[in-house]
Amino acid sequence: MSSRTEGALAHHFETLEQQAEAGALGMWAFLIQEVMFFGGLFTVYLVYRTLHPAAFVQGSAHLPIDLGTLNTGVLIGSSLTMALAVRGAQLGRGKNAALFILATMLLACVFLGIKGLEYSHKWHDQLVPGLNWNPGPDADAHLNLFYALYFVMTGCHALHMLIGLALMVVVARKAWRGGYSPGNFLGVECLGLYWHFVDLVWIFLFPLLYLLGRHGPHS
Amino acid sequence: MSQKPPTYLGGEYGMRSWLLTLDHKRIALLYLLGVTFFFLLGGVFAVLVRLELLTPAGDLFQSETYNKLFTLHGVFMVFFFLIPGIPAVLGNFLLPLMIGAKDLAFPRINLLSWYIYMVGGLFTLYAMLAGGVDTGWTFYTPYSSTYANSHVIAAALGIFVSGFSSILTGVNFIATIHKLRAPGLSWFRLPLFVWAHYATSLIMVLGTPVVAITILLVAVERLFHVGLFDPALGGDPILFQHLFWFYSHPAVYIMILPAMGVISEVIACFSQKRIFGYKFVAFSSLAIAVLGFLVWGHHMFVSGQSLYAGVVFSLLSFLVAIPSAVKVFNWIATLYRGSISFEAPMLYALGFIGLFTIGGLTGLFLATLAVDVHVHDTYFVVAHFHFVMVGGTVMAYLAGLHFWWPKMLGRLYPETLARITAVIIFVGFNLTFLPQFVLGYLGMPRRYHVYPLEFQVLNVLSTAGASILGLGFAMTAVYLPWSLRYGKKATPNPFDARGLEWTTTSPPMAHNFEEVPVVSTEAYERDEPEVVHV
Amino acid sequence: MVLIHEQASLMSEHGHVLPLRIYFGVFFALLAGTALTSWVATIDLGHLNDAVALAIAGTKAALVILFFMHVRYSSKLIWVFSLAGFVWLVLFFVLILADYETRVPVQGWG
C-alpha cells in the first residue's frame, strides 16, 4: 500500500486523509454553487408562478405525469447504482465500482432518452416557445413563461447529466484499471456526490413542473 | 544541503513552465499580468469618458459611442479587474504562504481558473472589437433583451465564463483555509487577510452562480424571445434586477473585503502593533459577507419595486454599516500609540481609511429611501461607488502590491518615488471624484455625454483630477517593472512585519518553506515588549 | 451475521462503508415516495396538494443527502456545508417575495 500511497499523495498534502478531506470539502463547496445556480432558476419559477398561477396550472396539466414518474424512478435507480459504485471503491473493488458506474450510465441514458421523447412531443404539439410556438386559442396568455422555464430548467438539468456522463467515462476507466484504493477513492466519491446532486435537483423539478397545481389555483 | 533551493522564479524557465505551472505563486503572477491588462483597458475607456465630459456639448463622440465607452469601462473594471484583482493576485500568492502550506488545495483547478478567466476576458474583448456593448455594465433588461442593438451576448458570455473562474477560486480558498493550515495555526491565529479571503470566498461561491444563471436567461430571452423579461409576454424586467443584484451587490464585498484584509496587514506592520480587537475585525468580515446578501434591493428603490420591500431593504442596508465601522474604528485604535512609519503601503492604507469612510457614509445617504429618490442615477452615486471601488479597493490593491512586492519578486520598489506617487494618486483621486458628489447633488444624471453649461466647472475639475490620477498610475506602471531589474535585493522581511510569509526567502522557494512551520503565537505578535514613547 | 462481520472489518479502513440494506432501504423509500407523490397529485386536496408534494420532495431530498451522500456519517463541517446553499436559497426566496407579494398596482395604469 505504501508505494501506491506515495504516488497518490500530492506533494502539498501531509497525509492521504488530509487530501481526501480537502477534496470532499471542495466538492461540497462546489455543490453549494450548484444549489445557487439552480436556485436562481427556482426563484424565477417561484416569481412567475406567483404572478401567473393559471398559466402554470395549465402548463403542469399538459406534462405527461406517467413519463415524469417513470423518469424519476429511473434517476433514483441511477443514484442507487452510483452509491453502490462508491461503496465498491471504498472496499477496494475497482472492477465492481466500474461496473456500477456503467449501470449508472445506462440508466442516465434511459432518462435522457425519455426526456428526449418528451421534448419531441412538445415540438410536435408546437409548445416550444421562441422556436415552434402555437399553443392554440384556449391557451393562457402567459403559458410561454411556463414552457420557457420548463425547457431551461430541464435543459440545465440534462446538461448536468451529460457532464456527469463524460466524467463517468473517465472515472470508470480509472476504477477498472485499479486506480483507486480503499484509502484513495476521492474521484469516485466526488463523482458520486455530483450525481446525487443531479438526482436532488430532479427530485424538486419533478413535482414543481409535473405535479404542483394540477387542480387549479384555489386562492 | 549546503545550497539553498532555487526560488519559484528560477528552477524552471520558458513559456511552457509558466503556462502549465501548478505553483500558486506563478499563477498569481499570471493573474497579475491579466488583471493589469484589463485595468489598463478599462482605464483607457475612463480617459475617453472624462475627455468627452470636459465640455457640455458632445464634441468627441455620438451618444451611442459614449454609451459603449462607459459600458466597457464598467465591464472591464468590475468583472475583470476589481473582482479578481486582490483575491486572484495577492490572495493566490499569499494564502498558502500565510497559513504555512505548500500550495492551494487544488493546484490544477487554480490554473484552470486562470485560463477560464482569460477565455472570459477574450470573449468580452471580442464583443468590444466587434462593435461594443451599450447596456451599461449592469445589462439591465430590456436594454439587453428586447431593445438590444449591440453585442450583448458575446460580452455577457465573457462574464458568464469568467464567473466560473471566480467560483473555482472561492472553492479552492475555502478548502485550503479549512484543511491546509500549519500545525498550531488555529482560526484565531490566522492573519486577518486570511479571514477576509474566507469571507470573500463564501460570497464567490454563494453569489456568482446566480448571476451566471441570470446571464443565461438573458441570452435565452435575447436569442429566442420567450418573454422571460418582456412585460408584453408576462415577464417582469425588474426580476432581472433582483437576480442581478443578488449577486452584484455582494460582489461589491468581493471587491472590498480582500481590500480590508490587506489594510489590516499593512496597518499592523507599520504601526508595529497587534490589530486592536482582532476577533471583532475577523468576525466583521463574516458579518459583512452575510449581511451583504440581504441588501440588494437598495439598488431598486425607484425601479418599481414594492415600497414595503424598499423599506425592508433600506433598514437592512443600514446594518452593513456596523461591521464596516467596526473595522475602521479598530484600525484607528490600532494606530493609536503605535510607532507609525509612513512607507508607501502605509500611505495607501491611510488613504484607504479616509476614502472608504467617505464612500461608506455616502452609501448611507443612498440607503435612505427618500434621499435616494433625489440622487438616484446621478453623479452622486457615481462618486459614491468610485470612493469605495477606487478609493477603497484600488488603494488597497496598490498598498498590498507594494507591501508584498519584495516578497513576490525579490526586489525593493523605490521608496521615495513610491511615496510621491501615493500622494499624487490620493490628490488626483479626490480631485476627480469629490466634484462628482456636488454634480450629483445638483442633479447631473449619470450616463449622458452632454450636460447643461452650469456643470462645466466641476466637470473640468473632475477631468483634471483624472489626468493626475492617470499620471500616478502611469508612474507605478513604470517604477515597479523598473525595480525588477534595478531595485535593491529584498531581505526575507524588509518591513519587519509579522506573519509566516515573512519567515521564508524573498522570493519564496518553489514549495514555500524549507520545512513545515509550526505556529505557537497569535497573529501580529511582537517578540519584544513595545517601546512606548510618551 | 455476515453484514456485521463485514462492517466491523471495514470501519477500520477509510470512511464509512454502509451495509447494503441501508442503500436498498433508501432506494425503495425513494421509489415509494415517488409513487405516492404522483398518486396524491391526481386527488384534489386544495392547497394541501402543494404542501404534500413539497413535503415528499423534501423528505426524499433529505434521504439522498443523509444516506447516499453520507452526510449522516460526516463531520459537522460537512453538515454545515450541505445546508448552507439551501438556507441561502430560502433567504433569497423570502426577500424576493417581500417585493412581489406587497406590490400595489399603480393608480391609473392598465
Domains of chain B from N-terminus onward: 15-503 (1.20.210.10)
pLDDT over threshold 60, residue B532: no
Angle (nearest 5°) at CA B103 between B100 and B104: 105
pLDDT over threshold 70, residue C1: no
| Chain A neighbors (3+ CB pairs < 8 Å) | B, C
- Cβ contact B306–C98 (<8 Å): yes
| One-letter amino acid of A26 | G
Helix (H, G, I), strand (E, B) or coil at B445: strand
Helix (H, G, I), strand (E, B) or coil at A35: helix
Q: How far apart are the C-alpha atoms of C83 and A168, rounded to whole Å?
A: 26
Instruction: Tell me whether the omega of the peptide bond preceding residue A207 falls within 30 degrees of 0, making it cis.
Output: no
Contact B218, B144 (CB under 8 A): yes
CA A60 to mean position of chain CA atoms: 20
Q: Closest residue of C to A66, CA-based?
A: C38
| One-letter amino acid of B289 | A
- Cβ contact C85–A36 (<8 Å): yes
Please list the residues that pair with B7 across neighbouring strands.
Answer: B509
CB contacts of A25 in chain B (<8 Å) are: 174-175, 178-179
Confirm or reject contact between A207 and chain C (CB < 8 A): yes
Among A183, A24, C78, which residue's Cα sits nearest to residue B105? A24
SS (H, E, C) B352-409: HHHHHHHHHHHHHHHHCHHHHHHHCCEHHHHHHHHHHHHHHHHHHHHHHHHHHHHHHH
- Cβ contact A36–B216 (<8 Å): no
User: Domains plus CATH for chain A?
Assistant: 18-211 (1.20.120.80)
Contact B499, B426 (CB under 8 A): no
The CA–CA distances, whole Å, from B465 to B271, B435, B442, B485 equal: 31, 10, 20, 32
ipTM: 0.93
| Residue B7, phi then psi, degrees to nearest 5 | -75, 170
- Tell me, what's the pLDDT at A3? 42
**Residue owning grid cell 441511477:** A78
Please give the DSSP secondary-structure letter assigned to residue B130: T
Contact B297, B288 (CB under 8 A): no
Output the nine-digit C-alpha cell for B388: 469605495
CB contacts of A37 in chain B (<8 Å) are: 209-210, 212-213
Q: How far apart are the C-alpha atoms of A27 and B105, rounded to whole Å?
A: 12
Q: What is the pLDDT of residues B61-72, one digit of tens each?
A: 999 999 999 999
Q: How far apart are the C-alpha atoms of B102 and B509, rounded to whole Å?
A: 10
Among A76, A150, A148, which residue's Cα sits nearest to residue A110? A76
- Tell me, what's the pLDDT at B175? 97
In tens digits, what is the pLDDT along chain A, a chain of 219 residues? 344 445 688 889 999 999 999 999 999 999 999 999 999 999 999 999 999 999 999 999 889 999 999 999 999 999 999 999 999 999 999 999 999 999 999 999 999 999 999 999 999 999 999 899 999 888 999 999 999 999 999 999 999 999 999 999 999 999 999 999 998 899 999 999 999 999 999 999 999 999 987 775 543
Q: What is the DSSP string of B242-286?
A: HHHHHHHHHHHHHHHHHHHHHHHHHHHHHTTSPPTTHHHHHHHHH
- Cβ contact A73–C34 (<8 Å): yes
- Cβ contact C93–A73 (<8 Å): no
A14: left (phi over 0), alpha (psi -120 to 50) or beta: alpha
CB contacts of A77 in chain C (<8 Å) are: 27
How close is the nearest chain B Cα to the Cα of A164, in Å? 18
Q: Closest residue of A to C103, CA-based?
A: A51
Strand A132-133 versus strand A127-128 pairing type: antiparallel
CB contacts of B511 in chain A (<8 Å) are: 11-12
The CA–CA distances, whole Å, from C79 to C11, C66, C76 equal: 21, 9, 5
Using 50, 70 and 90 to split pLDDT, how confident is the model at C4?
very low
Query: What are the residues whose beta carbons fall under 8 Å from the beta carbon of B529, sequence distance 6 or more?
Result: none
| One-letter amino acid of C92 | F
- Domain coordinates in residue numbering, chain C: 2-75
- Tell me, what's the pLDDT at A1? 37
**Residue owning grid cell 515573512:** B502
CB contacts of B207 in chain A (<8 Å) are: 36
Output the nine-digit C-alpha cell for B498: 509579522
Q: What is the pLDDT of residues B264-288, one digit of tens each?
A: 999 999 999 999 999 999 999 999 9
Q: Closest residue of B to A40, CA-based?
A: B210
| One-letter amino acid of B534 | V
Contact A141, A55 (CB under 8 A): yes
Among B218, B64, B51, B46, which residue's Cα sits nearest to residue B131? B64
Neighbours of B520 (CB within 10 A): 9
Q: How far apart are the C-alpha atoms of B490 and B488, rounded to whole Å?
A: 6
For the segment B207-235, the average pLDDT, to the nearest whole number, is: 93
Output the nine-digit C-alpha cell for A215: 387542480
- Tell me, what's the pLDDT at C107? 64
Q: How far apart are the C-alpha atoms of B343 and B502, rounded to whole Å?
A: 17
- Cβ contact A37–B243 (<8 Å): no
Among B348, B235, B342, B252, which residue's Cα sits nearest to residue B296? B252
- Cβ contact C91–B246 (<8 Å): no
- Cβ contact B234–A145 (<8 Å): yes
Helix (H, G, I), strand (E, B) or coil at B378: strand
pLDDT over threshold 80, residue B332: yes
Question: What is the overall mean pLDDT for chain B?
Answer: 94
First to last CA, chain B: 49
- Tell me, what's the pLDDT at A86? 96
* Number of inter-chain CB pairs under 8 A, A vs C: 144
Q: Closest residue of B to C85, CA-based?
A: B206
| Residue A127, phi then psi, degrees to nearest 5 | -120, 35
Q: What is the pLDDT of residues B455-508, one digit of tens each?
A: 999 999 999 999 999 999 999 999 999 999 999 999 999 999 999 999 999 999
Q: What is the DSSP string of A111-154?
A: HHHHHHHHHHHHHHTTEETTTEE---TTS-TTHHHHHHHHHHHH
- Tell me, what's the pLDDT at C7? 44
Confirm or reject contact between A54 and chain B (CB < 8 A): no
Confirm or reject contact between A217 and chain C (CB < 8 A): no
Query: What are the residues whose beta carbons fall under 8 Å from the beta carbon of C66, sequence distance 6 or more?
Result: C72
pLDDT over threshold 50, residue B443: yes
Question: Which of C77, C91, C103 is nearest residue B293 as measured by Cβ atoms?
Answer: C91
How close is the nearest chain B Cα to the Cα of C58, in Å? 21
The CA–CA distances, whole Å, from A212 to A61, B232, C53 equal: 9, 26, 7
Helix (H, G, I), strand (E, B) or coil at C69: coil
Output the nine-digit C-alpha cell for B301: 428603490
Output the nine-digit C-alpha cell for A185: 477513492
Output the nine-digit C-alpha cell for B113: 481558473
A4-9 LR contacts (CB < 8 Å, sep 24+): A4/A181, A4/A184, A5/A183, A5/A184, A8/A181, A8/A183, A8/A184
Q: What is the CA radius of gyration of chain A?
A: 21
How close is the nearest chain C Cα to the Cα of B235, in Å? 13
Question: B interface toward C at CB cutoff 8 Å?
Answer: 178, 206, 210, 238, 242, 246, 293-294, 296-297, 305-309, 312-313
Angle (nearest 5°) at CA C73 between C72 and C79: 55
Confirm or reject contact between A126 and chain B (CB < 8 A): no
Neighbours of B147 (CB within 10 A): 9
- Cβ contact A192–C68 (<8 Å): yes
Q: What is the CA radius of gyration of chain B?
A: 23
Among A86, A81, A116, which residue's Cα sits nearest to residue A102? A81
Helix (H, G, I), strand (E, B) or coil at A109: helix
pLDDT over threshold 90, residue B150: no
Using 50, 70 and 90 to split pLDDT, how confident is the model at C12?
very low
Contact B91, B170 (CB under 8 A): no
Q: How far apart are the C-alpha atoms of A211 and A201, rounded to whole Å?
A: 15
How close is the nearest chain B Cα to the Cα of C100, in Å? 7
Q: What is the CA radius of gyration of chain C?
A: 21
- Cβ contact A203–C60 (<8 Å): yes
